[in-house]
Amino acid sequence: MTGEPGPSVPPASTGPFRRRRVAAAFPASRAAVTVTALVAFSIGHVLLPPDAGARPPSPAATSTSEAAFRRLDIAGLRPDGATDVRRDDERVGAASEPAVDAELDAWGIPLAAGPGVATETAAAPVPALPEIVRFRPRDGWTEVDRNTQLSVRFTTPMDHATTEAAFHATLDGADVAGSIRWAEGDTVLVLRPSTALPYGARVELRVDAEALSAAGSAVLAAVAASFTVEARPAAGTNGGGGTASGWTWPLAGPITQYFGQTLTQYGTHQGIDIDGDVGDPVTAVRSGVVIVAGYADECGGLQVRIDHGGGLLTWYRHLSAIDVGVGDAVAAGSLLGKVGATGCAIGSHLHFGVSLDGAFVDPLRYLPPR
């Protein structure tokens, strides 16, 4: 009937009608999403640059060095398939590189070596060949003290057994008997003869090529030298122009440094050094009066000086103890003090000097032969 409301119809956005419409549209939406993803992938594949995406790790991006990763990768390439969890420096033969040393790509993955291509290994450093720096006494020296020690210095530490077998000190073709010791980090071999060398003898020193360094390298070349022992003094003199009457030696021991030799730090040597142990007795060489007993200069350490009259003084330096005082009158052979290493002294010894009218002279001009 006109003007009457018709039947009630639910709105399109509510009720079962909406649910059916949404359910019907869902399969179409899922298909659209799939198509959209495929199109985006295709477009990205075409438009992105070839190097986009993941890249090999940068060396700076990791706290472990590339060399460490390389060792770890190569350590797993054992031909026999065995594993070894010890560190490289604990393995037997760790001084050489592993047998398999494959090249790694940017990702740290080993590359297969081509057939017949040898793998490069780092060459081990070649140790320097040892050389002989000098003999002592030096080649050509004359008037060498009969009680001197013989030595040879090398540029590197040496193997004891091979070097001692290759070192020769000969007198008339026969080896000089004595005891051997090593010094200064095994770079110096010292031979102390068991008896005093004969007067006027010519002694030859030689190191053969069989001497090896501590690292196993042979000496660069065999080297030889020779020297002449002091001549026998004439009766009643000490062989140096002064009389020996009334003079005695201040210390029993071999001379380790002579008058006039040049030292690296202290210039020309103004006396003789006599070897001794701390506490060995030091005695006056001649009668006189003590004028210094204590510290008197920078390098002499604890020392004694004696005035013998006529402008002649004797000096006893580097002592560890003093048994006299200034003004004491002493006789030849009187105890002055004890050997030490005070002042500019590397080791225990006595520096004995003689000065005449203010100038140092060779003490061997005055000391008697022994």
Q: Per-domain residue ranges for the chain?
A: 132-228, 255-365
Task: Give the Cβ contact number of residue 259 at 10 Å.
Answer: 20
206, 315, 214: which is closest to 259 by C-alpha? 315
pLDDT tens column, 142-192: 888 777 889 999 999 999 999 999 999 999 889 999 999 998 889 999 998
The tokens of 358 are what?
A: 């203010």
Our measurement of the distance from residue 300's CA atom to the centroid of its chain's CA atoms, rounded to an integer in Å, reads 30
Only one residue has tokens 């540029």, namely 155
Question: 255-365: same fold as 132-228?
Answer: no
Residue 3 identity: G
Pick the CATH number of 132-228 from 3.40.50.2020, 2.60.40.1220, 3.100.10.20, 2.30.110.10: 2.60.40.1220
Strand partners, 189: 152, 182
Q: Which of 348, 291, 289, 296 is nearest to 320 (CA)?
A: 348
Burial class of residue 226, CB neighbours in 10 A (0-12, 13-18, 19+): middle
**Average pLDDT per block of 10 residues along the chain, 370 residues long:** 48 47 52 63 54 53 50 44 42 42 60 51 71 89 83 94 96 90 89 86 94 93 91 51 66 83 68 89 94 89 92 93 94 93 86 90 86
In this prediction, residue 149 carries a pLDDT of 84
CA dihedral 44, 49, 54, 59 (to 10 degrees): -160
Structure tokens at 335: 């105890």
CATH number for the region 255-365 comes to: 2.70.70.10
Q: Could you report the per-residue pLDDT of 320-348, keeping only the tens digit for each? A: 999 999 999 999 999 999 999 998 887 88
